[in-house]
């Protein structure tokens, strides 16, 4: 395996399908809206985001944006000319809705309103069709009375189960068997799982049966993929999905992280999407982690918000950006503090190890903030109220003001956040994964507030399933956003193609 992802940044729980010579991939999006990013590729290595599947309140209602809630582990499949996505909105579980099922003719959208599967309560659903065309939904049960991986035929027009659910397999005995995917291959039904938890013990296991209902026998070489206890720069490997290539060969996408800093290591950009080759031996898949090499892509962008539609990279926290932004008649974007659920933060994923992001906005009718966020309790940011720039860091319950600075009169400052290389101690160890520098500049020069430990914006400290995002929010009134730029300091070997 390359040590670089094919889709870098907070793009976890990948699921993939192929139509002809083109591949389509979706990921979890958790509290961020629009949800379920959709990427496409023709070579499995270079990917372009073509949209998001959940783009309107009829599909997912705006919500309070609780960290790492929202949309879990969707699966994408293509069947008889139609694309299908099945996923879980964990905010809906208390409402008894079960998994949601949407479909589209074009994976770029629009996608349909959801059909719910209320009898299937759990996470990480999969959908597959048997030889007679009956759809089966398979999921990780959250019902203690019915544990393990369960499956049942389903009516895709109503969400009604057509027979009682049956338990298929509980995995190899590792913790948290989840992320099931079923495949019909050479007369066998194969059930692929994630086990061991999505931390350092993460692993991919597989079993097979002659009938979809089982019984399932485990592969003798399980786990077929794991980096647990190995000195590999990519860790937490798991939650895979198989795909057959047009030439008959096989591959798999899976999630992983790139931890840095002193033990236990800190991953900051989230769980990312990686790619491996797959061979078959004695009827079982064998992972070839050296088959693919991620190509070099520069993900630099500058957005001046000249288009009527926002680029699909832009997200809100439990809110759709269209609910709190609108084009300005004078170019740029107006960002408002209009009341509503969630957090009206216009944000995008950080995708590189070392990078710089800047923004410029005027605050004649309010105040705004430029920040780097892991969740609402872990962020570093710069606030501008039309007169003064204030730097602050928030770590858990503590919000600390670093300092203030006044730009030249009449000048809207450029605010800068940079993820920089960590300090290396004399014995060659970096304590932190990186340093986050906060700065602001005007026509007279730049004021640097300082560089702060990146560990506190990592999952190992804050918990959860997401990664860093950076963005702009209005704190009071309305701000006029002129631009946001993102520039990797060093182009790394990954392959997320920047959107135009």
pLDDT of amino acid 1 = 44
Do both 397 and 433 map to the same domain? yes
Do both 306 and 273 map to the same domain? no
Do both 386 and 249 map to the same domain? no
Do both 188 and 313 map to the same domain? no
Q: What is the mean pLDDT of the chain?
A: 94
pLDDT band, very low/low/confident/very high, at 341 (cuts 50, 70, 90)? confident
Do both 166 and 50 map to the same domain? yes
Question: What burial letters (b/e) apply to 476-489, b meaning 16+ CB within 10 Å?
Answer: ebbbbbbbbbbbbe
Judge whether 206 lies within some domain. yes
Do both 26 and 171 map to the same domain? yes
pLDDT of amino acid 291 = 94
Given the residues 31, 92, 126, 178, select the one marked as catalytic: 178
Task: Give the other-Cβ count within 10 Å of 245's Cβ.
Answer: 15
pLDDT band, very low/low/confident/very high, at 189 (cuts 50, 70, 90)? very high
Work out the average pLDDT over 190-201.
97
Last residue of a domain, one of 288, 311, 335: 288
Tally the domains of the chain: 2
Q: Is 455 helix (H, G, I), strand (E, B) or coil?
A: helix
Residue 436 pairs in a beta bridge with 419, 452
Q: Report DSSP state, residue 429.
A: -
Judge whether 245 lies within some domain. yes
Q: Is the pLDDT of residue 242 over 80?
A: yes
End-to-end CA distance of the chain: 29
Judge whether 144 lies within some domain. yes
Work out the average pLDDT over 114-139.
97
Do both 277 and 403 map to the same domain? no
Do both 224 and 369 map to the same domain? no
Work out the average pLDDT over 237-265.
97
Work out the average pLDDT over 112-131.
96
Q: Is 276 buried (19+), middle (13-18) or exposed (0-12) by CB count in 10 A? A: buried
Judge whether 355 lies within some domain. yes
pLDDT of amino acid 500 = 32
Helix H or strand E segment including 344: strand 343-349
pLDDT of amino acid 491 = 41
Work out the average pLDDT over 340-362.
95
User: Where do we find the tokens 């982690």?
Assistant: 289
User: How many percent of the chain have pLDDT more than 70?
Assistant: 98
Looking up residue 215, the CATH number of its domain turns out to be 2.115.10.20
Work out the average pLDDT over 482-500.
63
Q: Is the pLDDT of residue 494 over 80?
A: no
Domain extent at residue 40? 15-288
Last residue of a domain, one of 235, 266, 288: 288
Do both 366 and 401 map to the same domain? yes
Judge whether 415 lies within some domain. yes
pLDDT band, very low/low/confident/very high, at 490 (cuts 50, 70, 90)? low
Judge whether 252 lies within some domain. yes
CA angle in degrees (0–180, nearest 5) for 225-456-314: 75
User: Where do we find the tokens 């139609």?
Assistant: 82
Last residue of a domain, one of 266, 288, 310: 288
The rounded distance, in Å, linking the Cα atoms of 12 and 14 is 6
Q: Is 276 helix (H, G, I), strand (E, B) or coil?
A: strand
Judge whether 36 lies within some domain. yes
Q: Is residue 178 flagged as an active site residue?
A: yes
C-alpha torsion angle, residues 301, 305, 308, 311 (rounded to 10): 30
Q: Is the pLDDT of residue 52 over 80?
A: yes
pLDDT of amino acid 96 = 87
pLDDT of amino acid 215 = 97
pLDDT of amino acid 296 = 84
Give one word for 182, left, alpha or beta, with left for phi > 0 and alpha for psi -120 to 50. Answer: beta
Q: Which residues contact 483 (CB under 8 A, 6 or more apart)?
A: 302, 303, 304, 305, 332, 358, 359, 360
Looking up residue 412, the CATH number of its domain turns out to be 2.60.120.200
pLDDT band, very low/low/confident/very high, at 248 (cuts 50, 70, 90)? very high
pLDDT of amino acid 295 = 82
Do both 83 and 122 map to the same domain? yes
Do both 89 and 139 map to the same domain? yes
Tell me the per-residue pLDDT of 7-29, one tens digit each, with 9 for 90 and over.
999 999 999 999 999 999 999 99
pLDDT of amino acid 305 = 96
Do both 176 and 325 map to the same domain? no
Give yes or no for a contact between 193 and 180, defined as CB atoms under 8 angstroms apart: yes
Judge whether 214 lies within some domain. yes
Query: In this predicted model, which residue has the larger pLDDT, 93 or 313?
Result: 313
User: Where do we find the tokens 């298929």?
Assistant: 168
The rounded distance, in Å, linking the Cα atoms of 36 and 85 is 9
The rounded distance, in Å, linking the Cα atoms of 132 and 80 is 13
Q: Is the pLDDT of residue 84 over 90?
A: yes
Question: What burial letters (b/e) apply to 17-49, b meaning 16+ CB within 10 Å?
Answer: bbeeeebbbbbbbbbbbbbbbbbbbeebbbbbb
pLDDT of amino acid 66 = 85
pLDDT of amino acid 251 = 98
Q: Is residue 126 flagged as an active site residue?
A: no
């Amino acid at each position: 395996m390359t040590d670089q992802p094919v889709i870098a940044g907070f793009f976890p729980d990948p699921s993939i399908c192929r139509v002809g010579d083109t591949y389509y991939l979706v990921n979890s999006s958790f509290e961020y809206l629009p949800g379920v990013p959709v990427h496409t590729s023709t070579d499995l290595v270079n990917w372009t985001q073509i949209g998001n599947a959940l783009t309107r309140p009829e599909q997912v209602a705006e919500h309070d944006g609780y960290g790492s809630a929202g949309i879990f582990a969707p699966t994408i499949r293509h069947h008889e000319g139609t694309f299908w996505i099945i996923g879980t909105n964990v905010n809906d579980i208390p409402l008894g809705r079960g998994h949601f099922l949407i479909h589209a003719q074009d994976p770029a959208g629009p996608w349909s309103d959801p059909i719910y599967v209320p009898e299937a309560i759990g996470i990480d659903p999969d959908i597959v069709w048997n030889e007679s065309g009956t759809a089966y939904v398979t999921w990780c049960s959250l019902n203690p009375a019915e544990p393990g991986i369960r499956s049942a035929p389903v009516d895709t027009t109503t969400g009604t189960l057509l027979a009682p659910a049956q338990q298929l397999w509980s995995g190899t005995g590792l913790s948290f068997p989840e992320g099931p995917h079923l495949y019909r291959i050479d007369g066998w039904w194969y059930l692929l799982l994630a086990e061991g938890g999505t931390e350092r013990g993460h692993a991919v296991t597989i079993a097979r049966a002659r009938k979809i209902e089982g019984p399932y026998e485990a592969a003798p070489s399980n786990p077929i993929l794991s980096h647990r206890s190995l000195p590999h720069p990519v860790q937490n490997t798991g939650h895979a999905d198989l795909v057959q290539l047009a030439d008959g060969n096989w591959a798999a996408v899976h999630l992983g992280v790139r931890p840095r800093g002193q033990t236990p290591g800190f991953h900051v950009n989230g769980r990312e999407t990686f790619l491996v080759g797959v061979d078959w031996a004695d009827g079982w898949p064998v992972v070839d982690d050296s088959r693919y090499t991620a190509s070099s892509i520069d993900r630099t962008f500058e957005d001046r918000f000249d288009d009527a539609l926002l680029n699909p990279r832009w997200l809100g926290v439990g809110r759709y950006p269209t609910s709190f932004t609108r084009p300005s008649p004078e170019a740029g974007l107006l960002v408002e503090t209009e009341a509503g659920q969630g957090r009206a933060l216009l944000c995008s994923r950080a995708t590189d190890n070392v990078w710089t992001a800047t923004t410029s906005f005027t605050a004649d009718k309010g105040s705004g903030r430029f920040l780097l966020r892991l969740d609402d309790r872990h962020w570093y940011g710069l606030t501008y109220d039309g007169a003064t720039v204030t730097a602050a860091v928030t770590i858990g319950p503590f919000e600390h003001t670093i300092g203030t600075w006044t730009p030249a009169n009449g000048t809207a400052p450029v605010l800068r956040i940079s993820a920089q290389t960590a300090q290396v101690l004399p014995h060659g160890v970096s304590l932190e994964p990186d340093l986050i520098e906060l700065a602001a500049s005007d026509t007279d020069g730049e004021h640097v507030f300082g560089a702060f430990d990146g560990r506190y914006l990592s999952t190992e400290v804050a918990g959860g399933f997401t990664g860093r995002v950076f963005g702009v929010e209005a704190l009071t009134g309305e701000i006029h956003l002129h631009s946001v730029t993102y520039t990797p300091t060093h182009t790394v070997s990954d392959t997320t193609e920047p959107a135009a």
